[in-house]
Chain A
Amino acid sequence: MKFYVCIKQVPDVNAPLQIKEGHLIQDSDRNILNAYDASAVEEALVLTEKHGGEVEVVLIGSEKAKETLRKALAMGAHKGTHILSDADETYDSYGYAQILAAFFKDKEYDYISCGKQSQDTDAGLTGSMLAEMLNLPYTTNAVGLVANGESLVVKRQGDTGQEMIELPSPGLVTCSNDMNDPRIPSLKGIMQSKRKPVDTIAISDLSGSASEAGAKTTILAYEEKPEREPGKKFEGEPEDIAREVARLLDTEANVI
Chain B
Amino acid sequence: MSTQLLTYISVNDGKIKRSSLEVLSRCNQLAEKHGGTSAAIVISDSVSGIADELKQYGPSAIYTIEDPIFKNHLNTPLLRAMSKAVEEIQPSVVAFASTEGSKDILGALAANKKAAALPDMSEFELSDGGVKGKRPVMASKIISAVEATGSPVFISVRSGSYDVAENETNPEITSIPFSFSDDDLKITLREIISASSDRIDLNEAEAVVAAGRGVKDEEGRELISELASVLNAGIGASRALTEAGAYDPSLQIGQTGKVVSPQLYIGVGISGAIQHVAGMANSKVVVAINKDPDAPIFDIADYGLVGDLYKVLPPFIEELKKVKSEK
A residues near B (Cβ < 8 Å) are 11, 13-14, 17, 19, 24, 36, 92-94, 97, 119-133, 137-141, 143, 153, 155, 157-168, 171, 176-178, 216-225, 227-228, 230-235, 238-239, 241-243, 245-250, 253, 255-256
B residues near A (Cβ < 8 Å) are 12, 72-73, 75-76, 79, 99-101, 103-112, 115-120, 132, 134-148, 150, 186-195, 201, 203, 207, 231, 239, 242-243, 249-250, 252, 255-257, 263-264, 274, 281, 284-287, 293, 298-308, 311-313, 315-316, 318-320, 322-324
> A150 → chain B, closest Cβ, in Å?
13
Q: Is the CB of B264 within 8 A of A249?
A: yes
Given contacts A162-B193, A163-B73, contact A132 B107 (CB under 8 A): yes
For the complex, what is the distance from the CA of A189 to the CA of B319, rounded to whole Å?
Answer: 58
Q: Is the CB of A158 within 8 A of B187?
A: no
For the complex, what is the distance from the CA of A87 to the CA of B134, rounded to whole Å?
Answer: 25
For the complex, what is the distance from the CA of A256 to the CA of B78, rounded to whole Å?
Answer: 39
Cβ contacts A to B, 27 pairs, < 8 Å: A13-B139, A17-B138, A94-B110, A97-B107, A97-B111, A124-B103, A129-B110, A161-B194, A162-B250, A163-B73, A164-B189, A164-B190, A165-B187, A178-B252, A178-B256, A216-B117, A216-B148, A222-B144, A224-B142, A225-B141, A227-B300, A228-B281, A241-B307, A253-B285, A255-B207, A255-B285, A256-B320
> A24 → chain B, closest Cβ, in Å?
6
For the complex, what is the distance from the CA of A167 to the CA of B150, rounded to whole Å?
Answer: 33
Q: Is the CB of A231 within 8 A of B323?
A: no
Contact check: which of B104, B201, B286, B324 meets A228 at CB < 8 Å? B286
> A180 → chain B, closest Cβ, in Å?
11
Contact check: which of B104, B107, B142, B148 meets A17 at CB < 8 Å? B142
For the complex, what is the distance from the CA of A196 to the CA of B302, rounded to whole Å?
Answer: 53
> B280 → chain A, closest Cβ, in Å?
10
Most buried by A among B190, B318, B322: B190
For the complex, what is the distance from the CA of A129 to the CA of B154, rounded to whole Å?
Answer: 13
For the complex, what is the distance from the CA of A243 to the CA of B321, rounded to whole Å?
Answer: 11
Contact check: which of A157, A159, A224 meets B143 at CB < 8 Å? A224
Q: Is the CB of A178 within 8 A of B239?
A: yes
Residues of chain A lying within 8 A (CB to CB) of residue B207: 255-256
Most buried by A among B79, B104, B136, B250: B104
Given contacts A141-B103, A255-B284, contact A178 B305 (CB under 8 A): no
> A47 → chain B, closest Cβ, in Å?
18
Residues of chain A lying within 8 A (CB to CB) of residue B116: 92, 94, 216-217
For the complex, what is the distance from the CA of A171 to the CA of B201, rounded to whole Å?
Answer: 31
Most buried by B among A13, A125, A218, A221: A125
Contact check: which of A177, A225, A232, A250 meets B256 at CB < 8 Å? A177
Q: Is the CB of A122 within 8 A of B255?
A: yes
Q: Is the CB of B306 within 8 A of A234?
A: yes
Residues of chain A lying within 8 A (CB to CB) of residue B308: 238
Using CB atoms, name the residue of chain B closest to A126: B107
Using CB atoms, name the residue of chain B closest to A231: B302
Most buried by B among A36, A225, A247: A225
Residues of chain B lying within 8 A (CB to CB) of residue A17: 138, 141-142
Q: Is the CB of A178 within 8 A of B299?
A: no
Q: Is the CB of A157 within 8 A of B250?
A: yes
List 7 additional contacts besides A163-B72, A245-B316; criterion CB under 8 Å: A36-B256, A122-B140, A124-B103, A129-B107, A161-B195, A178-B249, A216-B116
